Chain A
Amino acid sequence: MRSASGAKGQPAPHRGAGTRRMLTWAKEALLPPVAVFILVVGLWEWGTHLFEVPVYVVPPPSRIWESLLFDGTAIFTHAGITFFEAFAGFVIGSALGIILGTAFAYSRFLARGLMPYVIAANTIPVVAIAPIIIIWFGHGIISKIAVTAFLSFFPLALNMMKGLQSYDRTVMDVFHVSAASGWQKFVKMRLPTSLPYVFVGLKLNVTFSVIGAIIAEFVQADRGLGFMIMTAYRTLNMPRLWAAMLVSALIGILFFGIIALIERLAIPWHSSMRSNQKP
């Protein structure tokens, strides 16, 4: 009987259809990157052997993999520390950005008065500010979190302000005619409208915060991926360096995936979330 409703040409929401959609998705979205991965790794392995590329220039994938297996615990312990620094700084910096962005959206005076300095602060290269922050906050994890928070702050302040200002004028009129309080306008309209912008900022921050944590570790650290990369570089342990680099990319992807998932759950109505556009 099930096939009868399917035969009408209606995409019936049956389990069979869902599974089929999963399979098409796997085929269309998953297959190309996996194929490319296999091809690239294969060529890379084959090429390094064929042209006898020195390991310190480009190690073959098998050597990197060995290093990952051999050093696994160490690499993932360091990666865990870096991830924690990046995540904590991300949360603190984003939260501060949200607060200041909200203040900017509601106070012209604050926005006009502070914005030039916030922009100026944002143009400082992180490699220049990191040593200063480390002097202030010490050699431990706190200073790495502070550097990351510093980087995460600006994208959120800016996007939060833009998001809160991007409401529809007519919708605002509807709230006004309905005698809504300022708080009701904020919670029921301006905040939901700002969410897509907030997520743009959060996604930027994912990348920035991993970079920030690693750079801060370059400057001064006795643990973390940045520290590991630096020591591997000094001892010319290139497979280890490459392994650490790949794991740092993995952290970024994982982190980004978490935020993208939260975005999907938080703002399913937003048009960029509707997945019926082909890539």
Chain B
Amino acid sequence: MTGSAEAKVRISDVDVIYPGALGASAVHALDGIDLAVRDGEFVSLIGPSGCGKSTLLRVLSDLAKPTEGSVVVAGDDPRRARLKRKVGFVFQDAALLEWRRILTNVALPLEIEGVPRGKRLARAQELIDLVGLSGFERQYPNQLSGGMRQRAAIARAMSTKPEVLLMDEPFGALDQITRDRLNLELLNLTQKNRMTVLFVTHSIREAVLLSDRVVVMTARPGRISEIIEVDLPRPRTLEVRETAAFAALANRGVHLLEMGSKT
């Protein structure tokens, strides 16, 4: 399990320092991050805001450059991995194009890739069915609820069959019931389709429910303080949250987060 060759994502001693703009001091967003994520593993990142969770995902997707250290994503550096479309990204905001229907929104990455129209629309339809949006493919984004928009964003991110899926608080803006339902569907999705996922959340319970490992971070500078192994059996359902093992893991996470925020 620890063999370095099978790591899907390898982050080695990564620092990110944002230069301060006009008199403001530089921000040490990430400091000496080391993390290897196995193929097919679901890893959550949790920590106080400003601890560099988004920055880490942005480094992996070539939206930001590390100041120090090296990153390997699916066997390539982030730029190559991005150009080979090995990375999918779901943001907190669905960021759909308001002038396109759901079907063509989901097909956008394939359209950019140059996949022929018939083929990409068929694939988009498949994904729409997969995320439970069947019947809404002809709608425009503003006709959909927040939860449905986020489903469309997930379908879009999965359209190019990325090897690594990055999710930055994808359910952060949703109500609890919608969030529960989407958690369940994400569980099913990742258990059925082998995907390597890095998932940022503020909810320790969500992290424990979904993950194989939960990475707890501290802020200023952003560091990994602890990694919780979640050894709950799979396949999981929402009911796993009522078990004693789940409660113990969640409590440990809460405790670690509190310790981190005191220093």
Contact of A170 among B62, B93, B140, B142 (CB under 8 A): B93
Known: A173-B63, A269-B140, A269-B142. A178 touches B85 (CB 8 A): yes
Query: Dominant SS at the A interface?
Result: helix
Contact of B89 among A174, A184, A189 (CB under 8 A): A174
Known: A173-B89, A269-B140, A269-B142. A178 touches B113 (CB 8 A): yes
- State in angstroms the CA–CA spacing of A174 and B105 once bound together: 11
Binding site for B on A (CB under 8 A): 168, 170-171, 173-180, 184, 188-189, 192, 267, 269-271
Q: How far is the CB of A272 from chain B (nearest CB, A)?
A: 12
> In the complex the two chains form, is B95's CB within 8 Å of A173's CB?
yes
Q: B83 to chain A: which residues have CB within 8 Å?
A: 179
- State in angstroms the CA–CA spacing of A125 and B28 once bound together: 53
Subset of 10 A-B contacts with CB under 8 Å:
A168-B93, A168-B95, A170-B95, A171-B97, A174-B91, A174-B156, A178-B109, A179-B85, A179-B113, A192-B99
Best-surrounded residue of A173, A178, A179, A184 (most CB of chain B within 10 A): A178
Contact of A188 among B61, B91, B112, B140 (CB under 8 A): B112
- State in angstroms the CA–CA spacing of A174 and B162 once bound together: 14
Q: What residue in chain A is nearest B110 (Cβ atoms)?
A: A178
> In the complex the two chains form, is B63's CB within 8 Å of A177's CB?
yes
Q: B91 to chain A: which residues have CB within 8 Å?
A: 170, 173-174
Contact of A184 among B97, B99, B112, B156 (CB under 8 A): B112
- State in angstroms the CA–CA spacing of A269 and B87 once bound together: 30
> In the complex the two chains form, is B95's CB within 8 Å of A177's CB?
no
Q: How far is the CB of B221 from chain A (nearest CB, A)?
A: 24
Q: Does chain A have a CB within 8 A of B88?
A: yes
- State in angstroms the CA–CA spacing of A188 and B99 once bound together: 10
Which are the 6 A-B pairs with shortest beta-carbon distances? A170-B95, A178-B109, A269-B99, A177-B89, A171-B95, A180-B112
Q: B142 to chain A: which residues have CB within 8 Å?
A: 269, 271
Q: Does chain A have a CB within 8 A of B158?
A: no
Q: B97 to chain A: which residues have CB within 8 Å?
A: 171, 188-189, 192
Known: A170-B91, A269-B140, A269-B142. A177 touches B82 (CB 8 A): yes
Contact of B160 among A168, A178, A180, A271 (CB under 8 A): A178
Q: A188 to chain B: which residues have CB within 8 Å?
A: 97, 108, 111-112
Binary contact track B73-88/A, C-beta < 8 Å → 1, others 0: 0000000001101011
Q: A174 to chain B: which residues have CB within 8 Å?
A: 89, 91, 95, 108, 156
Contact of B82 among A168, A179, A189 (CB under 8 A): A179
> In the complex the two chains form, is A177's CB within 8 Å of B87's CB?
yes
Q: Does chain A have a CB within 8 A of B98?
A: yes
Binary contact track B144-179/A, C-beta < 8 Å → 1, others 0: 000000000000100010000000000000000000
Number of A-B contacts (CB under 8 A): 54
- State in angstroms the CA–CA spacing of A175 and B156 once bound together: 11
Q: How far is the CB of B132 from chain A (nearest CB, A)?
A: 21
> In the complex the two chains form, is A269's CB within 8 Å of B61's CB?
no
Q: How far is the CB of A241 from chain B (nearest CB, A)?
A: 46
Q: B93 to chain A: which residues have CB within 8 Å?
A: 168, 170
Q: How far is the CB of B71 from chain A (nearest CB, A)?
A: 15
Q: How far is the CB of B2 from chain A (nearest CB, A)?
A: 30
- State in angstroms the CA–CA spacing of A174 and B82 once bound together: 11
Binary contact track B51-64/A, C-beta < 8 Å → 1, others 0: 00000000001110
> In the complex the two chains form, is A176's CB within 8 Å of B63's CB?
yes
Q: B85 to chain A: which residues have CB within 8 Å?
A: 178-179
Q: A178 to chain B: which residues have CB within 8 Å?
A: 85, 108-109, 112-113, 160
Q: Which of B85-138 contact A (CB under 8 A)?
A: 85, 87-89, 91, 93, 95, 97-99, 108-109, 111-113
- State in angstroms the CA–CA spacing of A178 and B109 once bound together: 5
Q: B62 to chain A: which residues have CB within 8 Å?
A: 176-177
Q: How far is the CB of B85 from chain A (nearest CB, A)?
A: 6
- State in angstroms the CA–CA spacing of A270 and B97 once bound together: 11
Q: B63 to chain A: which residues have CB within 8 Å?
A: 173, 176-177
> In the complex the two chains form, is A175's CB within 8 Å of B99's CB?
no
Q: What residue in chain B is nearest A174 (Cβ atoms)?
A: B95
- State in angstroms the CA–CA spacing of A168 and B98 once bound together: 11
Q: A177 to chain B: which residues have CB within 8 Å?
A: 61-63, 82, 87-89
Q: B112 to chain A: which residues have CB within 8 Å?
A: 175, 178-180, 184, 188
Q: How far is the CB of A196 from chain B (nearest CB, A)?
A: 10
Q: What residue in chain B is nearest A175 (Cβ atoms)?
A: B112
